[in-house]
Amino acid sequence: MNNTEQVKLSLKKRYAREKRFQWYGKIAVWIGFVFLATLLLDITLKALPAFQKTEIQLQVPIDWETLGLQPDTRIDPESLRTVDFGGVLKKSLREVFPDVKKRKDKKLLYRLISSGAEYQLRDLILSEPELIQQGKISLWVTADDDVDTFYKLKKSTSRIKPKQAEMIQQLMDQGKIRTRFNDTFFQNSDSREPEQAGIRGALVGSFWTLLVTLVISLPIGIGAAVYLEEFAPKNKLTDIIEVNINNLAAVPSIVFGLLGLAVFINFFGMPRSAPLVGGIVLSLMTLPTIIISARAAIKSVPPSIKEAALGLGASHMQTVFHHVLPLAMPGILTGAIIGMAQALGETAPLLMIGMVAFIVDVPGGILDSATVLPVQIYLWADSPERAFTALTAAAILVLLAFLVTMNAIAIYLRKQFERRW
Amino acid sequence: MKHLVLATAISCSLISLQAQAAGRDTINIVGSSTVYPFATVVAEKFGKKSGHKTPKIESTGSGGGMKLFCAGAGLNTPDITNASRAIKSSEYKKCMKNGVTDITEIQIGYDGIAFANSKKAPQFKLSRKDMFLALAKQVPDPKGGHKLIENPYQTWNQVNPSLPNYKIEVLGPPPTSGTRDAFAELAMEGGCKKVDWIKAMKKKDKKKYKSICHTVREDGAYIEAGENDNLIVQKLESNPKAMGIFGFSFLEQNDDYVQGSIVEGEAPEFETIADGSYPISRPLFFYVKNAHKKAIPGMQDYLVEFTSEAAFGDEGYLIDKGLIPLSKADRAAMRKRVKNSEKLKM
């Protein structure tokens, strides 16, 4: 057997090997794709109920007498404080179901509507006091979360008593129950009642936290990268710094949280749970990402451009700021956006500095107590009420939407402004 | 250059922060994750009703909460800490040492711990001793004698012939959880004590007694499912042969999927936990730093709201959330404590 024959014989085997290898690759891609698709589908399906809310129509009497106020009282939060809006709503519920007489059944009846409905009525009267002149209004109030789950899934749960199911059936027959787009989810902050809970507080909290992170990590990151890449002498010290920046990028994020607790809160006395501390901690985490990507971007600017600038008499600093940095900017920004996206999805370091908390008020600045989107997801996932499962999934979708948007911007910047030499 | 200016501006604003952090108008609450679902409901009601800011509540666990609470008397420390157990004397001493001398203890009710499985499987009827034998790392030798052996039991009917022939598989919280502490203390130790010679050990060698009674087996029969009780419920649903350990409020919210086991003749129900006949239940507390009452607006109102009949009374809104109420007399006593800011003495 000569060489050619040997090669010919092994040829089939080699082709087969290559085919097999390609198949392994395809299978790997497919497995990854199936995982991702299952995850997304599961979350989306679970989240769908959260984007709808159930409402019940009531005829609410709101004349001066029922409210217990003197006619023509000035309507402001102070004068409405004493008004028993819950009682007013209970009265209108009894009007819908006149045959409910027993105390126990009445209690079940009152549980059809959300405990937040009375504040809904109060806020309505606060914003439109002239409604009182009408004497009676027709109002769609938010239903209780158990009713909501029952009505949406059309499935009996043990949380709904048979008596209540009858009542809901009656409401359905009269067309007094409906589902609407759940705007509460985007307008409200955290609540222990699923039907009143929303993500606004967490979104604003994420915004403040990321703002602090951006303001701190971008200038410091770019500054460090420019110095290390363009000005720093190449010696042992800069080598050590370089190695350590790479190491820092691999440090588990919880460590930064511990650092934040020890240094910023305990030593500097900054407030717990504030976006300021959260932002500083997250910027420590994103700094290495930004420095590394910025250095890579600066390095990829061709030396010929620098040399041309220097040759025309520009100083080193002028060369860097007038030519190198503008050309490297798309790469730097891409790195920064990816770093920010990482920071947006982070919870572990925030656990240590008190941002995992029940906070209802929307934070007005970087010093107010706040929580962030992933933390909100974590808190809801841990709540006993069934309806929070849907809210958790919906919040995950919102977070994913932001992450995808940020990454898309990064890709756009890279495609649009990247120059190839 | 611009960046340098920016960086300087930031560091300047950081320094000025310390002054601003001193005054605050929100109540800061920390502590137990078991009390968290109740405290948050009260906080939310209080925020909507009173016009004060809604209190901020962190879920740090009972131990973590005490640590923060006792760290000092200044306004940068929490005002209230929730706990799913009474304050320990070591914690009390630490509080005293750090100047937190005026504390009021308020008990808010009880919490039951459910030992539950899927409704697709038969309901378990067992005793605390069965739980101890099934879950302890070391158990008394079944052949007799005062000897401990590595837990040999693999199925429930080996532990107690009346139980089904299921592999022992229990999903429960990790050691950092208060629920786990309470389970070890109330269920496992409760069963452990039934063995006379181990009970006798309590007086002689308390440390060894505790380690026998509280140590959970590590051969895979007990699965740490994380702090998330919802996850345990979901896993029970998909695996009908497994058992789960979680708080009563989760059992109540999911009683169409899971059922609580009958422990020593008592089912985990509202009434049996309230009158103390269900053996695995524990009291829930919060502790108030009275010195902060003057500085923090609305703090007293929050306490009044929490201890009102509308909240922790027999038909209050906390009861809807799964809290087991105190007796009427105890509730009145708690209200008196709040009113007079009664000082805790140990």
**B221 or B17, which is more confident?**
B221
Q: Distance (Å, rounded) from C-alpha B252 to C-alpha B250?
A: 5
Distance CA A192, CA A93 (A): 24
Q: Say if CB A247 and CB A341 are below 8 A apart.
A: no
The whole-angstrom separation of Cα A43 and Cα B107 is 40
- Concatenate the DSSP letters of all residues of B33-67 into one string: TTTHHHHHHHHHHHHHHHSSPPPEEE---HHHHHH
CA gap A379, B104 in Å, rounded: 29
| CA distance linking residue A45 with residue A67, whole number of Å | 43
pLDDT of residue A45: 93
- Taking only residues 25 to 44 of chain B, the set having a beta carbon closer than 8 angstroms to any beta carbon of chain A reads 26, 28, 33, 36-37, 39-41, 43-44
Lowest mean pLDDT among A100-104, B312-316, B339-343: A100-104
Of A119, A359, A382, the CB nearest to B48: A119
Residue pLDDT, tens place only, B290-303: 999 988 989 999 99
Rounded to whole angstroms, the Cα distance separating A299 from A233 reads: 15
The Cα-based distances of B285 to A96, B45, B187, B261, B307 in angstroms read: 41, 19, 20, 26, 12
pLDDT at A304 over 90: yes
Other CB atoms within 10 A of residue B226 CB: 15
The pLDDT tens digits for A371-420 are 999 999 999 988 888 889 899 999 999 999 999 999 999 889 888 887 77
d(CA A21, CA A24): 5
Q: How confident is the model at residue B3 (pLDDT cuts 50, 70, 90)?
A: low
Instruction: Enumerate the residues of chain B whose CB falls inside 8 A of the CB of residue A358.
Output: 36, 39-40, 43, 56-59
pTM of the model: 0.81
Residue in B with minimal Cα distance to A84 = B49
Contact A341, A246 (CB under 8 A): no
* pLDDT given for residue B196 in this prediction: 85
Average pLDDT over residues A12-38: 95
Q: Please give the single-letter amino acid code of residue A33.
A: F
Domain range annotation of chain B: 25-110+283-340, 112-281
Q: In terms of C-beta distances under 8 Å and separation of at least 24 residues, what long-range contacts does A168-171 make, across chains too?
A: A168/A112, A170/A97, A171/A56, A171/A96, A171/A112
Banded model confidence at residue B93, pLDDT cuts 50, 70, 90: very high
Q: Please, what is the average pLDDT of chain B?
A: 86
DSSP letters spanning B283-300: EEEEEEEGGGTTTSTTHH
Report the distance separating Cα B38 and Cα B317, nearest Å.
9
When pLDDT is averaged across residues A176-204 and rounded to a whole number, the result is 92
Query: Under DSSP, is residue B224 helix (H, G, I), strand (E, B) or coil?
Result: strand
Chain A residue whose CA is closest to B10 = A216
Helix (H, G, I), strand (E, B) or coil at A10: helix
Single-letter code of the amino acid located at A336 = A
At A140, list the tokens: 């769609």
The answer to whether B339 faces chain A, any CB pair under 8 Å, is no
Give me the pLDDT at residue B303, please.
Answer: 94
For residues A26-51, average pLDDT? 95
pLDDT (tens digit, 9 = 90+) per residue, A132-182? 888 888 899 999 988 888 888 777 666 787 888 888 888 988 888 999 999
Q: Check residue B250 and give its pLDDT.
A: 84
Q: Kindly calculate the radius of gyration of chain A based on its CA atoms and give it in whole angstroms.
A: 30
A383 touches chain B (CB under 8 A): yes
Q: Which CATH superfamily is domain B112-281 in?
A: Periplasmic binding protein-like II (3.40.190.10)
Other Cβ atoms closer than 10 A to B295: 13
User: Residue ranges of the domains in chain A?
Assistant: 51-182, 200-417
Higher pLDDT, A41 or A66: A41
pLDDT band at B243 (very low <50, low <70, confident <90, very high): very high
Of the candidates B60, B41, B59, B189, the one whose C-alpha atom is nearest the C-alpha of residue B108 is: B41
Express each pLDDT in B251-269 by its tens digit: 888 888 899 999 999 999 8
Reported for A314-322, long-range contacts at CB under 8 A and 24+ positions apart, including other chains, are A316/A230, A316/A231, A320/A226, A320/A230
pLDDT of the residue at B19: 40
Position B12 pLDDT exceeds 70: no
Question: Candidates 1.10.3720.10, 3.90.580.10, 3.90.76.10, 3.40.140.10; correct CATH number of A200-417?
Answer: 1.10.3720.10
Task: Give the residue from A194, A201, A204 showing the smallest Cα distance to A380.
Answer: A194
> B36 near B59, Cβ under 8 Å?
yes
- Please identify among residues 220-279 of chain A the ones whose CB lies closer than 8 Å to any CB of chain B: 220, 222-223, 268-273, 276
Q: Is residue A279 within 8 Å of residue A205, measured between CB atoms?
A: no
Q: Please state, in angstroms and rounded to a whole number, the distance separating the CA atoms of residues A206 and A213.
A: 10
The pLDDT score that the predictor gives to residue A116 is 87
Handedness of CA B60, B210, B263, B286 (dihedral sign): negative
Shared fold status for B25-110+283-340 and B112-281: yes
Token pair belonging to A101: 């007489």
Residue B15 has pLDDT above 80, yes or no: no
How sure is the predictor about A4, in pLDDT bands with cuts at 50, 70 and 90? confident
Cα angle B246, B287, B92 (rounded to 5 degrees) comes to 100
Domain B25-110+283-340: CATH superfamily, name plus number: Periplasmic binding protein-like II (3.40.190.10)
User: pLDDT for B329-343, tens place per residue?
Assistant: 999 999 999 999 989
Tokens of A399: 């977070």
pLDDT score, position B10: 53
Q: Which residues pair with A138 in a beta bridge?
A: A59
pLDDT at res. A225: 94
In this structure, what token pair is assigned to residue B306?
């929490």
What is the C-alpha to C-alpha distance for residues A147 and A144, in angstroms, rounded to an integer? Answer: 5
Instruction: Look at residue A287 and tell me whether its pLDDT is greater than 50.
Output: yes
pLDDT tens track for B125-154: 999 999 999 999 988 888 877 888 899 999
pLDDT at A8: 84
Q: Which DSSP category does B145 fall into?
A: S
Residues in CB range of A61: below 8 A, 6 or more apart: A88, A91, A92, A135, A136
